[in-house]
Amino acid sequence: MQAQIKVKRFDPEQSDESFFQDYSVDVTDESTILDGLIKIREEQDGTLGLRCSCRASICGSCSMRVNGSAKLVCKTRIKEVAPNGEVISIEPMGNMPVIKDLVSDMDAFWSKVRSVDPYVKTDFKPEAEHIASNDSMTHLLGVMNCIMCGACVSECTALEVDSNFIGPAALAKAYRFVADPRDEDKNTRLSKLNGNDGVWDCTRCLACVEVCPKDVAPMERIVKMRELAIEEGYTNTSGFRHTDTFVESIRRHGRLDETRLALESTGLKNISGLIDLAIIGLKSLFRGKIPPVLPHRPKDFNKITSIVERLEDKRKD
């Protein structure tokens, strides 16, 4: 069958502008998008730039946007994406500069990985191997499956607005050490990850979980590290205050007290933060969007508070 593939081209030696180029290529039912792109490069257009290597979803080279969302093209069959010969759109990953065509500049990606001190830190020298439960190792296998393809970073909505955010890939990598029973630096790691640009910057949009080709579920690792950070006593963060006020508000009012949530999350001693908040408050006021000073009590108030109580009891267990 013929696959119709339009590729976003960019060659800084030729022009500052990118453009789409259409290709038509003969493929089989089994062909992956990577097979198609390689065929284009080998038979039609030697100037097409892309990275690829293993063809078996283990090297992480060929992450790119397929119809707007990042995928490993080596494990995406053309027939799945375009069962009736629809045009497939291929673009480089998002949230990264482009070197050429489908080749993304991953320098920032790797610097962020380096920033989490991604190696086991321990002074303990066992006589042979460390003794560890198979469960703890199998648990880490979930993160070790990460092949650093960049798909999660490509689709991260928090990175889109804040390029300083460490991001899902590096944070999932960090979790691999936080949760490694052999690592002796868990506390320092959590203290660092708890800071600016760290675990609390994730907006929990689930995009990373959805696009990860290896089921690493970066967001779940990030949420887990938030919990661990709180357990270790790192509570002086807007993230923790947000969580805490959120629960308190539901317990007290049966619904969200948005004014209080905003104030408490920012921190009542955080003057510059409060000034920023005041400006937002004023803008909301002019647009008629300011929440009520005290939230209305919902009619299922008793039911809601009993749910909160049950959850609290469960947590204490």
Partner 1 sequence: MYKHDLLIIGAGLAGLRAAVEGVRQGLNVAVITKVHPVRSHSNAAQGGINAALTDRGDDWKDHALATIKGSDYLADQDAVEVMCKEAGEALIELENMGVIFSRDDDGKLGTRAFGGQKKARTYFVGAITGSALLHVLYEQSIKYDLHIYEEWFVTKLIKDEGRISGAIAFDIKTGQMELISAKAVVLATGGAGRVFEPSTNALICTGDGLSLAMQAGAPLMDTEMIQYHPTTLSGSGILISEAARGDGAYLINSEGERFMENYAPDYMELASRDVVSRAEQTEIDEGRGVDGCVFLDLRHLGKQFIEERLGYLQEVALEFRGIDLSESPIPIKPGMHYIMGGIKTDLNGATNIPGLYAAGECANVSVHGANRLGANSLLDTIVFGRRSAVSSVEYIKSIQDLTPDERLLSREKSRIQSIIDRPKGMRSSELRLKMATSMTKGIGVWRNAESIENTSQIMKNIRGQLSNVYVENKGKIFNTDLVSFLELEFMIDVAESICQGASARLESRGAHFRTDITSRNDLEWLKHTIVELSDQGMNTKTSDVTITEWQPTERIY
Binding site for partner 1 (CB under 8 A): 11-14, 30, 35, 38, 41-43, 45-47, 49-61, 75, 77, 99-101, 103, 106, 110, 113-114, 118-120, 125-126, 128-134, 137-138, 140-141, 144-148, 180, 182
What is the closest distance, in whole angstroms, from the C-beta atom of residue 152 to partner 1 in the complex? 15
Nearer to partner 1, 120 or 282 (CB): 120
Nearer to partner 1, 132 or 285 (CB): 132
Q: What count of other Cβ atoms lies within 10 Å of the Cβ of residue 309? A: 11
Nearer to partner 1, 64 or 140 (CB): 140
Nearer to partner 1, 34 or 158 (CB): 34
Nearer to partner 1, 39 or 204 (CB): 39
Distances (CA, A) of 78 to 55, 60, 66, 88, 174: 14, 19, 10, 8, 34
What is the closest distance, in whole angstroms, from the C-beta atom of residue 18 to partner 1 in the complex? 14
* DSSP calls for 245-300: HHHHHHHHHSS--HHHHHHHHH-TT-HHHHHHHHHHHHHHHHTT-PPPSSPPPPTT
Number of H helices, E strands in the chain: 14, 7
What is the closest distance, in whole angstroms, from the C-beta atom of residue 180 to partner 1 in the complex? 7
Instruction: Confirm if 105 and 94 have CB atoms less than 8 A apart.
Output: no
Nearer to partner 1, 103 or 108 (CB): 103
What is the closest distance, in whole angstroms, from the C-beta atom of residue 122 to partner 1 in the complex? 8
Euclidean distance between CA atoms 173 and 166, whole angstroms:
11
What is the closest distance, in whole angstroms, from the C-beta atom of residue 195 to partner 1 in the complex? 20
Write down the residue that tokens 């630096």 correspond to.
185
Structure tokens at 248: 């308190």
Euclidean distance between CA atoms 247 and 108, whole angstroms:
36
Instruction: Confirm if 193 and 170 have CB atoms less than 8 A apart.
Output: no
What is the closest distance, in whole angstroms, from the C-beta atom of residue 155 to partner 1 in the complex? 20
